[in-house]
Structure 1
């Protein structure tokens, strides 16, 4: 029989070996994956609060995220994050989503703090259930079912008066919020994200909006994806990584939606006609925009007419990394986009830092949905 002392030695030895192996593997992970592991451990062992708090109010659905520990630099899409499903109502009443907001708060006091700690807040729908409810099954799977996104510099918005996104109260929305920290390398701070979804009951007058997601995709060398520098003006890119936000076009060329920008000014553009998939003319009323720091403008460009549909100005902080404001397109009257036109996104950047930075450029375009409007009124 093995003595207890030897069992304890074996257990201690196994623990030490496992710890050394775990630390070694952890050290080779990217910053993003280290944050995932770290957050999971903090939640599992109860070292920080890991519950979403729900506080419904009349016409506002409010929720408070679990605690995010900010303990180092977390660039865009690297920080701790958390997700959950929600229902705006326990019944099937038809509601109209009219706006979204996310803000950073101190985990202890719930007082508002700098939006420097907001990376993004995504809202996804279950497109199978959503379009089945409206007998629009042909729309299922046509695009990634993301309804909208808020991010640093674009932390809140409301649709034009009289417009919104219809949803049955009992339908599920999937909320993901992620923290950010570009500027404070020596920090140990616990924060939360407060998310608000504004809605109202349907009164027969509101008009429904259809969300279409478009984003810049740039070609890269699939054989040597991280080889640089690239020729200026080539509209090619070096991807941040090839596992995420990497796509293949119909010709087998590799494209990235998350790429590296060098120092200085550059312009990037790509076609979005295939992403828009316009079968008929649609009237655009709103744009929710997502870009990273050092972007200075983004435009929806009509290549057929050789003119901008709109161009959104983007302001950056001068004394730190971060976005102050991204101007959306918002119009009650709307502007028409046509099925026989070609469209692009055009992004201008100015990397004023001393190192390469990462970049994305995307829009959630909201069009009047005449087909859905007819079904709702029936």
Structure 2
């Protein structure tokens, strides 16, 4: 009776939650390995994920995943994170596979530990503590020369990596993700970066969230779901950061000044976008000056669903942004399929951190 009840419960789950349950059981029973393999050579922290079984279509944020806490080393010295990389490999042969099996790889800081160490306690819980994310189409990047994110070697980072499969319904493949974090010793010349996450949030009807079609002229959306990536604005309106796009071309825009929390001014040096397939560009727009600050072009595959390349913004000189300006994220999409698809649009923005540099100089 218990097995039947479990089966009924399992069949009612979404694809995403089925993957969570399957992966947990496979790892817990030892049917596939659940160990992370670590290799740290003092310049690049590398680790190999547990085995993921891809046994069907897994759209963005649905696939098997794993997570763990890491330390770049065991010392109390400062190291500077300078880049990230993730790639898919065959679980048995370790041969490199298509990046089509990579959904995303996230790196979070322990914000209480991190900001208490630098005596910047006023920053705790002001932003989501995600340092950055890699995703399909942007599987690696390096910060501009001379810049990085400082961290004490023994402090904890939280890494999560998730699989993807948009195109192969008939598949049974064992996959691992190789994750790399590049870092270097502090030589008193590097400039520290502070990460801020901004993302498009679109209003939806909280009383009937999944009703469509919507007025094409409205800024409303139909959310993928109302439990995750759902927010409230100051007026009490419901907003979604994960929404449905219909076939055809469409532009979405969202104010992000409250998310930026700029005090007086800030100098931007790097941006890593995160989008889903069928996005074609994402830009940072200065509404006050009515001008585009930069646009990251996005290239989709023409013969399958997936992102071939996502451009980043990178500048040693930097770009100034101001507290008294209004900023928007603008995302363009071209859903060339004949069905609705899901979408997100965000950027990880890295600003020069003068306050943190002053703290580090006193150590």
Q: What are the Cα deviations for residues 235-254 of structure 1, in whole angstroms up to 9, with x where unaligned?
A: 21000000000001111100
Query: Which one of the candidate residues 361, 364, 367 is aligned to 2:345?
Result: 361
Residue aligning to 2:94: 110
Q: 1:137 aligns with which of 114, 118, 121?
A: 121
TM-score (norm 2): 0.99
Match runs of 1:12-23 below 5 Å: 17-23=1-7
Deviation at 1:279, TM superposition (A): 1.2
CA shift for structure 1 position 58 = 3.1
Alignment of 1:246 with 2:246, yes or no, is no
In the other structure, the counterpart of 1:285 is 269
Counterpart pick for 1:61 among 45, 68, 71 = 45
Q: What residue in structure 2 maps to residue 321 of structure 1?
A: 305
Larger radius of gyration: 1
CA–CA separation in structure 2 for the residues paired with 1:43 and 1:361? 32
Tell me which residue corresponds to 1:230.
214
CA distance in 2, matches of 1:58, 1:122: 21
Q: Separation in 2 of the partners of 1:187 and 1:235? A: 38
What is the deviation of 1:130?
0.3
Q: Trace 1:134-173 onto structure 2 (pairs within 5 A).
A: 134-173=118-157
Alignment correspondent of 1:126: 110
Equivalent residue in structure 2 for 1:190, among 154, 165, 174: 174
**Do residues 310 (structure 1) and 294 (structure 2) align?**
yes
Q: CA deviation at 1:233?
A: 2.8
Quote the residue 1:199 is aligned against.
183
Q: Cα offset for 1:375?
A: 1.0
CA deviations over 1:302-326 (Å, ceiling 9, x no partner): 0000011101100000000000000
Q: CA deviation at 1:354?
A: 1.1
Q: Count residues in correspondence.
A: 362
Residue 204 (structure 2) pairs with residue 220 (structure 1): yes
CA distance in 1, matches of 2:230, 2:171: 33
TM-score between both structures, scaled by the size of structure 1:
0.95
- Residue 35 of structure 2 is aligned to residue 51 of structure 1: yes
Counterpart of 2:57 (choices 67, 73, 78) is 73
Unpaired runs of 5+ residues, structure 2, are none
CA distance in structure 1 between the partners assigned to 2:345 and 2:41 by the alignment? 34
State the alpha-carbon separation in 2 of the partners of residues 355 and 46 from structure 1: 38
The runs of 5 or more residues in structure 1 that have no matched partner are: 1-16
Structure 1 segments of 4+ aligned residues over 2 angstroms from their partners? none
SS at match of 1:239: coil
Counterparts of 2:254 and 2:83, CA distance in 1: 29
SS for the counterpart of 1:157 is strand
C-alpha distance after superposition, 1:150-207 (max 9, x if no partner)? 0000000000000000000000000000000000000000000000000000000000
Alignment-derived partner of residue 331 in structure 1? 315
Which residue is equivalent to 1:12? none
